[in-house]
Chains A and B, each alone.
Chain A
Amino acid sequence: GAVVSQHPSWVICKSGTSVKIECRSLDFQATTMFWYRQFPKQSLMLMATSNEGSKATYEQGVEKDKFLINHASLTLSTLTVTSAHPEDSSFYICSARDNPGTEFGIAKNIQYFGAGTRLSVL
């Protein structure tokens, strides 16, 4: 259980074009999904939190007009990189939060990750 599918796994695009990345929770409903970016040899940096039926919450320094997030259903969130430039080339990973309840009153906050998307902008 708790499988998250991310598509595409690799995309190459020309500078100035837009790219859409999909993230699906396959066997559970996810009211909250997260989008991360990972630079080489660095940790995962949270870009935004995606909530079903409402606007995404962006982390400081992330351009909301550049990285459009849509969470139209309980199993699908999309990230669109608009007018991509070479500096947007990176590894993008989504995650979805399952809700396995609480443990002694503390939320068991487990996120399950997709396989990631390697974006290369030429």
Chain B
Amino acid sequence: DQQVKQNSPSLSVQEGRISILNCDYTNSMFDYFLWYKKYPAEGPTFLISISSIKDKNEDGRFTVFLNKSAKHLSLHIVPSQPGDSAVYFCAASRKNTGFQKLVFGTGTRLLVSP
């Protein structure tokens, strides 16, 4: 049962344009959401997060939007740069899980072309 889903395995965007990566979740108990960026053969790098009490969080070129009623979050990258090309994972954390496990989506490969 995939509780966190990223339905687009890949996305191609031109440099300077907006990249929008989407993530859906099924468990309403999730209360904290994160986006990670991953290059091949490296560990994920934390990008930005949002708690369920908010609907938007912004950090430089990265903005995360959360729609709790739709159980949907998205990551906007503006403007996109070639160095943003990587696999992006969304992750969710659930209330009352003691050790605060993260559940990861399947990832979306972003390619930003010059």
Interface residues in chain A, defined as those with a beta carbon under 8 Å from any beta carbon in chain B: 2, 4, 6, 32, 34, 42-44, 46, 49, 51, 57, 91, 93-95, 97, 103-116, 118
Contacts and interface: CB of A to CB of B under 8 A. Distances in A.
B41 to A, nearest CB: 6
Contacts, number: 70
Interface in B80-106: 89, 93, 99-102, 104-106
B51 A49 contact: no
B99 A51 contact: yes
Which interface class (under 10, 10 to 19, 20 to 34, 35 or more) fits B? 20 to 34
Contacts of B93: 107, 109
Given A51-B99, A110-B34, A44 B51 contact: no
Contacts of A42: 106
A44 B89 contact: yes
B99 A49 contact: yes
B104 A44 contact: yes
